[in-house]
Chain A
């Protein structure tokens, strides 16, 4: 009985989250689809929590610990990198009053190109 309720409660959360996801994401305009993608990317980096939780287990073997360090590192790349890069992109969508920073960016790009 209790078992069923944990599973069914979680299934309810799963289904509701799916519907909410569809409603919320449908409102994102095409223009912001790249930031949306990198932003949701960052959010699924939440698997990091899985790695952190498993570190709490007793009797972890050395190899399990090794795998978990990689998993946590991967999750962190996903989360930190994802949010940072999304922030960078979204800042560009804000209207900027000064044209100066753009010109600098341009110069930097030119260098990288050669």
Chain B
């Protein structure tokens, strides 16, 4: 008992807590390294979770930590919402789940900055006020709250608020609470966005310069909130992978800024790594769509494309060949190489298990089955891979675009399930097409194509798909899940 005070003071010492933070971010990095392969990934994620646990414990050890009841309340509230959501969400709904989790992260950042302002606001812009709080990280060496703290804090508030509202809109669109099509003010949109951005930044500068008005701070949060709405509302469903990645990067950067403001190394490292991750993914997605990030954020993919799509429809009308499940089954049964091309339609119809059953049936007959995954198939990076993994499709059958494209020439049947724009040869052949230049899966190179699709409606980009009018393409109209199941049962009767 007598040694307890000594032990307590050691556990609460600056250095000990700092070392725990260092261990925590080392575990984050080690954990993410595990994500380089599917066999080490589960362990990697758990290592990162342990790092998070250590970081939380370190924070709670800080001398002066208090309001335990409220901390427990917050954590319990969060757990009650987060745990069942994470346990029960369907794999097909993963994009909206990620958007929602991303949003609450951004929201937390904005709220934390707000409380910081409420507490330190009077010292923003002033170097002479002595800071003597229980904030262990500051009591370390800072005699005053320096300007950079308020700069990072204001930055975190703006970006966090944009991320919160942007993610919520993305969630609403993916969950179909809000229409997935672009909702915009047309040509005025970019001007409005710019004005909102300038307003938010101006309010931020004013606050850093020493405006002590909480009203101004709230105004800044609101303008940033409007900006978050204004940026994501005009973005169509097909551009969602880019938006989700971008918002992920935003939340990461805002967390890093909070870390700079709070002088907390774990926050800085974790936030920055997430920022890097989101940036890499955003770039990958934008490259895979042959679109620049500014162009996507500025919106306007839907409008122009729809007009061209209408013209295209007139040109091609009447040359579509439709087929039925029995014929498709025969076609597949006598093939030796089949490539399945899944898209968002497979996710919507929850058809991944049916697809797997079909593939198993084909493999029993000696057919070689692979899956071609376009980087932007679905609504978030890697969406199709997760769905197929859920259905127990072996990892090595999932082929990335660059790997599978040369194989299409020796593919007997390409089975396109709910994918559209990523297979459209117009991206290669028609310079006037809005998607011209976008890398596609070269499905048209295969000997024959079966497209499972609900109707002839063009995809989210609103562009007619030339593939459907190709003489070697047969359309099987219907819901992806029941259509695939029908083919499987026809196969069984062969």
Chain A residues in contact with chain B, CB under 8 A? 2-3, 6-7, 10-11, 13-14, 17-18, 20-22, 24-61, 63-65, 67-96, 99, 102, 105-106, 109, 112-113
Contacts and interface: CB of A to CB of B under 8 A. Distances in A.
Interface stretch (B41-49, B189-197, B320-328, B423-431): B41-49
Contact of A13 (B49, B143, B268): B268
A13 B265 CA distance: 7
Contacts of A52: 56, 59-60, 65, 71
B440 to A, nearest CB: 16
Given A49-B55, A69-B77, A76-B77, 12 more contacts: A6-B140, A6-B142, A37-B98, A37-B382, A47-B108, A54-B115, A67-B114, A72-B70, A73-B78, A74-B108, A74-B111, A85-B86
Interface of B: 25, 28-29, 31-33, 35-39, 41-42, 44-46, 48-49, 52, 55-56, 59-60, 62, 64-67, 70-71, 73-75, 77-79, 81-83, 85-87, 89-91, 94, 97-98, 101-102, 104-105, 107-109, 111-112, 114-116, 118-119, 133-137, 140-143, 146, 148, 244-245, 248, 251-252, 254-256, 258-260, 262-278, 280-281, 284, 350, 353, 356, 373, 375, 380-383, 385-386, 389-392, 394-395, 398, 400, 481
18 contacts: A6-B142, A6-B263, A18-B273, A24-B273, A47-B258, A50-B109, A55-B65, A58-B64, A81-B97, A83-B45, A88-B87, A92-B390, A92-B392, A93-B38, A93-B395, A96-B392, A109-B90, A109-B350
A35 B35 contact: yes
Main secondary structure of the interface of A (DSSP, over half): helix
Given A32-B38, A68-B115, A24 B32 contact: yes
- A14, A43, A47, A91: residue with the most chain B Cβ atoms closer than 10 Å: A47
A68 B65 CA distance: 14
Q: Which of A7, A75, A77 has the most CB of B within 10 A?
A: A77
A83 B45 CA distance: 7
Contacts of B119: 54, 57, 59-60, 64
Given A65-B67, A102-B392, A56 B38 contact: no
Nearest to B25: A17
Contact of B353 (A38, A47, A86, A106): A106
Nearest to A91: B42
Contacts of B277: 21, 25, 36-37, 40
A35 B386 contact: yes
A8 B135 CA distance: 20
A35 B115 contact: no
A68 B219 CA distance: 19
A43 B274 contact: yes
Most buried by A among B67, B87, B109, B264: B67
Contact of B33 (A24, A72, A82, A90): A24
Contact of B272 (A14, A57, A73, A106): A14
Contacts of B400: 30-31
A11 to B, nearest CB: 8
B141 A2 contact: yes
Contact of B248 (A32, A40, A46, A60): A40
Contact of A41 (B35, B102, B148): B102
B126 to A, nearest CB: 14
B382 A46 contact: no
Given A45-B52, A102-B353, A71 B33 contact: no
Given A56-B64, A78-B82, A109-B350, A67 B273 contact: no
A77 B81 contact: yes
B380 A49 contact: no
